[in-house]
Structure 1
Amino acid sequence: MAILGEIRHITTYRYANPVSFGPHRAMFLPWRGSAARLLSWSARTNLASKIHWISDSRSNSVTVIELGEPGAELTFTFKVRGVYFGIKKLEAFRLEPRAEEVPVQYTPDEWTDLAGYLRPHDDDHDASVAAWSKSFVAGDQDRATDVLDRMLAGFRRDFTYRTRDAEGTQSPAETLRTRSGTCRDYAWLMIEALRRLGFACRFVSGYLYDAALDGGAVGMIGSGATHAWLQVYLPGAGWRDYDPTNSISAGYDLIPVAYARHPAQAIPLTGSWFGEAKDYLGMSVSIAVRKIGEFEDPSEG
């Protein structure tokens, strides 16, 4: 079954007095490929602007917006409609035997291609992240997928999801120390922990489709906002999704927009403004990810 869906992402900044703006960059277009087809998309601002698209070094689509006039309010409205096929279950892809070893036995070519995703990015001064990662390995005969499942369960059991006003992503050590954080914090801790066990991992920013929202309820953490998770490269299966916030490892729920070695490379919306610091009144974000239809995937026939 494939899902016909629509995403609407609106961000508004407000100021006490008109301010001027530098260029802004947005990541809102879902990845196109075997799992998704985009039918239409648009990017608009309430102020006069010039908009164009570029592709970064990781093949993410980036929207560049150059604002042409000052204002006391700046609104970005992004809309996209497409067909999403999803991945029903990991078992649909046959893992090579070496993918179940810990550490995963990558070939020399894979090591060359994956080097940036294998090397830890943050310092682990007290070795707490390394020690925590090793706690999920039961023994020499442990399977890699067992370790991944245990780590997902560890987030569900031991961590508390907390939103915060501060921008950016916590260090893995801070998320581990407080046993709390946002989806970006959870994903980044799991990435850095798995890299220390020899897994190639990358950060993913995107959207979360929550079927419960179609009926007016909220069923998953992070729905109604941008979401973050990670992918692990397992030979035979390729890059597979793992969402420590909701314990998701397959399905239609995760819609990727940007892939990155670290979170700073996948920020949904960035830019600059010029004025008095006291003029900034805040921002609001409204995101709706909804199903508007479904049809049979012809590949399943």
Structure 2
Amino acid sequence: MAIKASIYHLTHYKYDNPVQLGPQIIRLKPAAHSRTKVLSHSLKVTPENHFVNLQQDPYGNYLARFVFPDPVTEFKIEVDLVADMTVYNPFDFFTEEIAVKWPFDYPEDLRDDLKIYMTPEPSSPALDAFMATIDTTPGQGTIDMVVGLNARLQHDVGYVIRMEPGVQTPEETLTSARGSCRDSSWLLVQILRRLGFAARFVSGYLIQLAPDLKALDGPSGTEVDFTDLHAWTEVYIPGAGWIGLDPTSGLLTGESHIPLAATPHYKNAAPISGGYIGQANTEFAFDMQVKRVAEHPRITKPFSDDSWDALNALGQKVDADLEAHDVRLTMGGEPTFVSIDDFQSAEWNTDAVGPTKRDLADKLIRRLRERFAPGGFLHYGQGKWYPGESLPRWTFSLYWRKDGKPIWHDPALIAAEHKDTGVSHEQAEALMAGIASELDIETDMIIPAYEDPAEWIIKEGSLPENVDPSNSKLESAEERARIAKVFERGLTKPTGYILPV
């Protein structure tokens, strides 16, 4: 479930003398290709004495053409809509094989239709200079190329809010290195067209909601919910269709972008266009508001504030009852640690063991000992044994005294996992003999432990004829390593020693 957000958009002109409005073209209905689902939409225009024709322009955009027969002293446009802000992946598309690498040719049956979106404006010095800096090496990834250009414009062109009407030329935007969203978007359209892409200019609504959680790195986004009119670019990729690029943010468009009009030229994408006849001073008012009309539990915010308050109050009541009756509870837990360098590999997701897990666990528990229990005793022993696994898992434990007195004085005597100490079974036997002596136990009580010869003879016999135990082709990395280790050591040598006490 997601957040549902409502937008209220007001545009209001007041005239101190009656004026005759010409035909007014309003493009404030979400476009059919919007990936953000619009649940409801309404358009209210004042004065009410008007004629309206609901149309689609040659590019498939919705527009409303209003005609006012009488002179007016005000012209007010109000839009209300509700959008489902379900998050979607902007990279959730396929690319046709012909367009995976740049440059590519559009399919013949689309070329005439896309021609108007591929024709650039006349060139200029600053734009030519910028184009010369673009890597045009054939064979580079198409998506990587357009994503990189979008990110570059965000970096090279500073964002400014321009109240002046119209759109800057690419020359003006590049020369000043500043521009509004519409300026950067029109510049990106021209750059893409010069590289052989079909590109169009898009006007629409931008809804930005404050995130539930702050980002661990990078910008966290807006601190408050807000909405505004916005502009961006769309590029046509065979197989993927029209892909939204927002050079203001340097990102692909997402659920926050609701397109209103997408056209070859920005002049045909203006949200409101028209004029009037007469002499009057104009008072202009503009307002945009966004509200969350529905919020469902989600991973980043599983409970509403009221629910959290009720939950905390109940928890405090339970704590008071437990304390009043002298009930003492402990809670166990198994915090999960993963490698920061390779957290997507199998050993940190699906496999019980792996090539680095034990070594990193050894380093972690030594760091824990240094911080919390200097003089603590490290114990490496058997862990849980799950059904279907060939061996029990290992467990690294740390023991220390509450009074701070050391249990173990020389940490160097505990071998690190990543070091090959060359210890043999003879030294293991000598250690066990020393322990027996300290405990005043006869050394003949020490029992050597061996691998089961019958089991390993069967395992060896099960291997293919062209495979030997040291180079097994078994799928399980654990099984391969174990077989190689056992046959390298030999079945007649002890694997360890046991001292029953």
Relative to structure 1, the CA distance from residue 294 to residue 61 in structure 2 (aligned partners, 3 Å threshold; closer, same or farther) is farther
Relative to structure 1, the CA distance from residue 193 to residue 96 in structure 2 (aligned partners, 3 Å threshold; closer, same or farther) is same
CA contact (8 A) 1:204 1:266 kept: yes
CA contact (8 A) 1:207 1:289 kept: no
CA contact (8 A) 2:47 2:75 kept: yes
Residue-by-residue CA offset, 1:144-193 (whole Å, 9 max, x unaligned): 22222222222222211122232111111111111111111110000001
- Give the Cα separation in 1 of the matches to 2:136 and 2:4: 42
Counterpart residue number, 2:55: 54
Tell me by how many angstroms 1:143 deviates. Answer: 1.8
Counterpart residue number, 1:210: 208
- Give the Cα separation in 2 of the matches to 1:32 and 1:115: 22
Relative to structure 1, the CA distance from residue 213 to residue 171 in structure 2 (aligned partners, 3 Å threshold; closer, same or farther) is farther
Tell me by how many angstroms 1:293 deviates. Answer: 3.0
Structure of greater relative contact order (alpha carbons < 8 Å, 6+ residues apart): 1
Moved more, 136-145 or 175-184: 136-145
Q: Percent same amino acid among aligned pairs?
A: 31
Q: Secondary structure at the match of 1:109?
A: helix
Relative to structure 1, the CA distance from residue 33 to residue 262 in structure 2 (aligned partners, 3 Å threshold; closer, same or farther) is closer
Relative to structure 1, the CA distance from residue 228 to residue 34 in structure 2 (aligned partners, 3 Å threshold; closer, same or farther) is closer
Counterpart residue number, 1:108: 108
Q: Secondary structure at the match of 1:110?
A: helix
- Give the Cα separation in 2 of the matches to 1:197 and 1:118: 9
Moved more, 156-165 or 239-248: 156-165
Alignment counterpart, residue 238 of structure 1, candidates 238, 241, 264: 241
Relative to structure 1, the CA distance from residue 285 to residue 157 in structure 2 (aligned partners, 3 Å threshold; closer, same or farther) is same
Tell me by how many angstroms 1:138 deviates. Answer: 5.6
Stretches of 4+ moved more than 6 A in 1?
A: none
CA contact (8 A) 2:185 2:233 kept: yes
Counterpart residue number, 1:299: none
How big is the alpha-carbon RMSD for the aligned residues of Structure 1 and Structure 2? 2.7
- Give the Cα separation in 2 of the matches to 1:149 and 1:2: 27
Q: Secondary structure at the match of 1:166?
A: coil
Relative to structure 1, the CA distance from residue 137 to residue 236 in structure 2 (aligned partners, 3 Å threshold; closer, same or farther) is same
CA contact (8 A) 1:204 1:229 kept: yes
Relative to structure 1, the CA distance from residue 160 to residue 18 in structure 2 (aligned partners, 3 Å threshold; closer, same or farther) is same
Residues matched between the structures, number: 288
Moved more, 246-255 or 62-71: 62-71
- Give the Cα separation in 1 of the matches to 2:94 and 2:65: 40
Relative to structure 1, the CA distance from residue 205 to residue 250 in structure 2 (aligned partners, 3 Å threshold; closer, same or farther) is closer
Counterpart residue number, 2:17: 17
Tell me by how many angstroms 1:206 deviates. Answer: 0.6
Relative to structure 1, the CA distance from residue 285 to residue 168 in structure 2 (aligned partners, 3 Å threshold; closer, same or farther) is same
Tell me by how many angstroms 1:246 deviates. Answer: 1.3
Counterpart residue number, 2:180: 182
Greater gyration radius: 2
Tell me by how many angstroms 1:213 deviates. Answer: 9.1
* Structure 1 unmatched runs, 5+: 297-301
TM-score when normalising by structure 2: 0.53
CA contact (8 A) 1:136 1:147 kept: no
Relative to structure 1, the CA distance from residue 136 to residue 149 in structure 2 (aligned partners, 3 Å threshold; closer, same or farther) is farther
CA contact (8 A) 1:46 1:75 kept: yes
CA contact (8 A) 1:35 1:84 kept: no
Q: Secondary structure at the match of 1:63?
A: strand
2:160 maps to 1:157 = no
* Structure 2 unmatched runs, 5+: 214-219, 298-501
Name the structure where strand makes up a greater proportion of residues.
Answer: 1
Tell me by how many angstroms 1:6 deviates. Answer: 2.3
CA contact (8 A) 2:201 2:262 kept: yes
- Give the Cα separation in 2 of the matches to 1:214 and 1:63: 38
TM-score when normalising by structure 1: 0.85
Counterpart residue number, 1:123: 122
